[in-house]
Each structure stands twice: as C-alpha cells, then as structure tokens.
A and B are shown apart, each in its own frame.
Chain A
Amino acid sequence: MSKDDLGRYHSPALLIMVSLAEGEKHGYAIMEDVEVMAGIQLGPGTLYGAISRLEARALIEPVEDGSRRQPYRLTEAGSQFLQTELERMRSWSGEGLRRLGLDTV
C-alpha cells in the first residue's frame, strides 16, 4: 500500500489510524482525539473522506454494535501500514533534525 493510494487524504488518514491505535472509536471521538493529540481539527468532509478511503482499503473496519455512532478499529493490515508509515516518517524527520544540527542522538 503506497501513500499515493490515499491521495490528499494521506495525512488525515494517518492521524485517524494513530487515534485508532489505542482502541476503537467513533467519528466524533476520533476528531476530538486528533485535535488533542496533534492540534489539528479535521473538517467533517475530510474526516469521512479519509474514513471511507481507509475502509475501502481494509485498513480500518467498522465494529458492529448496532448504534448510529459507528465505531471503527484498525485491522491487521492497518496496523502494519501505520507502523511502516510511522517508521518512514521517523527516518526522514531524524534526517531533517540532523541536517538542522538539532539531533542529539
């Protein structure tokens, strides 16, 4: 799964997946968690655009509980994808800090 598959929803999708990494949540809870965690407010259209893409790619799945507030959770493929993406980001952010002379490692 390449990042291009998610298009302009790549960053919102990653934030949603990070939020779901600690457990299942519904849309509103995801939005609040992302705002607290990253200081980014996902718009309603962006949030559900990203959710529909993640679900279509089987990176997240709905949890059947019969309520209107549909909770979602990460799938196995989603966990692997998130891990790969976060490691990739850590790699280039480390390189960026090193080039700025800010890396202490």
Chain B
Amino acid sequence: MKRIAVWLVRLYPSVWRTRYGDEFTDFLEQYHSICLRDVLDIVIGICDAYLYPQRNMVMSEQLARKESTFILIGLCPLISTILFIIGVGIVSIYEVIGLFFVALSIVPSVLLPFILARSAHQRLVIGAVSPLIALVVGFFVLILFNIPLPRGLSGWRVAEMLLGAIGVALILANVKDNGLPRPLSIVGILLGTSWLLHHTFMMLEVGGPSLIPPVQDLPSITLVALNALGATWVLGTFVWLALRKRTTLFRWGA
C-alpha cells in the first residue's frame, strides 16, 4: 500500500510536486502503516490540488487549465463508461434498470464538467470529448465480450445521444460564463433541449403513446423526472437570461 501511495505522488500537478513532492514522499516513507483510507485521502488531495491550486504555486492559468482538463477528461469518461457497461450488461435481465444506467452514463459527461471545470472552454472540451471516449470505450468492451446491444440502441441512437450530450455541454458552458459565440450557443440549445425533451417523451411513452408516466418502477420515473427537469431548466434559464439581458445570445443588434 505504501508503494501505491508513493507512486500516487506522481499524479499531483507538476507545480505541486516541485514544491512539496520530495518532502511529501519522505513523509510517506516515514509513515508506519498506510491503509486504504490514507490512499483515498491522497486521491482526494490530488483532485483538490488540481481544482484549487494555491497562490504560492507558481503556475500559469493556462497550464493549470490544461492539467485540470486532462484529469477531468480522464474522470468523466471513466464514470460514464462504467455506467454504460453496467447498463448494457444487465439490460437483458432488468431491462428498465439497464436502460436507466445507459441513459445515466451521459450524466457525468454533462454534470461533472459544469461542477468542476473552471472555464467555458474547459467545459466545452470536456463535455464534447468525454461522451465520445465513453461511447467508443464502452462499445469496444461490448464487442470484445460479445454483449448484445439493448433494444432500441442503434448506431443512430448512439449518435443522437452523443450530439445531445455535446449540446448540453455547450448550453452549460454558455450559461455559466456566457463566453461562447452565438451560432455555437444556438446549436447547443437546439441539440441539448431536443435531447432532453426526446428522452422525456420516450420514457413517457413506454407501454403506449400516453403522456401519463408509467409508474410501475422507480428508475423510469426518476429518469423521466431528470429529463423533464433538465429540459425545464435549460429553457427556463434561457428565458430568465433573456429577460435579465444576461446573455448576448438574444442581442441580435449587438
């Protein structure tokens, strides 16, 4: 366990390692017995060092952004891929729960960049790249282990999910920093909103073309609620931004 802990020091940002690397390694080598909790504590410390670089760490903003983008691009697809594979793996046994996990696999790629990223550019890159990596890796695993695709998950459907996720990432990037070009924002709104609406209606129509939710299980209700909430939030936010004139998107004369 001590070896793992010492190796983990390499994952700290380079500027952190320059300042504390030697003494931290020495500290870990003195440590009497390193347990799993200590290793997890170091992993949290690594994330913290990327997300909240301290003022005494001489590092350009650009380099810091590059490093945190790198770690987020690793983290988001990893979580997405795990959820995707779990979903497809159990879909033949528990169909709704499986599809729920497949749909959920998009969430880290959309939510994590928004919560963790530090700029519109970073959110955009992570939001666009991480679902792509997750899907490619996920499908590679499916093909490798000869796992059948869930019903209704065709290549077009996957492409639509991917585009939707990128659209939501564009929207999120725009809402927080309002720094994206107008055409990109419009594409984002269209893609993201249609994705969220489509998933809402798809779930509502399970078992028939009815707008009444199929209240037979918790996962489908949760998914409907999440998608409906997402669509309402996206549209509501932009109406609010337009009314408050907080976005350049609607300033056509500007």
**Chain A contact residues, CB within 8 Å of chain B:** 7, 26-28, 43-49, 51-53, 55-57, 68-70
Task: Give a binary string over B8-42; 1 marks a CB under 8 Å from any A CB, 0 the rest.
Answer: 00000000100110111011101100100110011
Contact A48 B45, CB 8 Å, known A28-B27, A68-B23: yes
A103 shortest CB reach to chain B, Å: 36
Which of the listed residues A7, A48, A69 has the most CB atoms from chain B within 10 Å of its own CB? A48
A sample of 21 cross-chain residue pairs with beta-carbon separation below 8 angstroms, ordered by A number, consists of A7-B52, A28-B30, A28-B31, A43-B41, A43-B42, A44-B24, A44-B27, A44-B34, A45-B38, A45-B42, A45-B43, A46-B41, A46-B45, A48-B24, A49-B45, A49-B49, A52-B16, A52-B49, A53-B54, A56-B56, A69-B27
Contacting residue for B23 out of A7, A49, A57, A70, CB 8 A: A70
Interface of B is mostly: helix
* 10 more CB-based (< 8 A) A-B contacts, given A28-B30, A46-B41, A69-B23: A7-B52, A27-B23, A28-B27, A28-B31, A43-B38, A43-B41, A45-B42, A46-B45, A52-B20, A56-B57
- Distance (Å) between the CB of A77 and the closest chain B CB? 14
Q: Find chain A residues with CB under 8 A from B43 CB.
A: 45
How far is A56 from B59 in the complex, measured between Cα atoms in Å?
13
Q: Is the CB of B23 within 8 A of A44?
A: no
Residue B72 lies at the interface, judged by CB distance under 8 Å to chain A: no
- Chain A to chain B: the 9 pairs with minimum beta-carbon distance, closest first: A45-B45, A43-B41, A56-B54, A45-B41, A45-B42, A56-B56, A70-B23, A68-B26, A27-B27
**Complex contacts, B16 vs chain A, CB 8 Å:** 52
- Chain B minimum-CB-distance residue to A71: B23
Query: A52 CA to B17 CA in the complex, in Å?
Result: 12
Distance in angstroms between the alpha carbons of A51 and B45 in the assembled complex = 12
Tell whether, in the assembled complex, residue A44 and residue B41 are in contact, meaning their CB atoms are under 8 Å apart: yes
List A contacts of B31 (CB < 8 A).
Answer: 28, 44
Chain B interface size range: 20 to 34
What's the nearest-Cβ distance from chain A to residue B50, in Å?
12
Q: How far is the CA of A26 from the CA of B54 in the complex (A)?
A: 20
Tell me how far the C-beta of A17 lies from the nearest C-beta in chain B, rounded to whole angstroms. 16
B160 at the interface (CB under 8 A from A): no
Q: Are B26 and A69 in contact (CB under 8 A)?
A: yes
- Cβ A44 vs Cβ B20 within 8 A: no
Judging by beta carbons under 8 Å apart, are A44 and B5 in contact? yes
Q: How far is the CA of A46 from the CA of B5 in the complex (A)?
A: 14
Most chain A CB within 10 A, of B19, B31, B48, B52, is at B48
Does residue B44 face the partner (Cβ distance < 8 Å to A)?
A: yes
Would A44 and B26 count as touching, CB distance under 8 A?
Answer: no
| B56 & A45 in contact (Cβ 8 Å cutoff) | no
- The answer, yes or no, to whether B226 is at the interface (CB within 8 Å) is no
Q: From B44, which residue of chain A is reached at the shortest CB distance?
A: A45
Q: Which residues of A contact B42 (CB under 8 A)?
A: 43-45
* B151 in the interface (beta carbon within 8 A): no
A68 pairs with B22, CB closer than 8 A: yes
Q: Would you give the shortest CB distance from B53 to chain A, in whole angstroms? A: 9
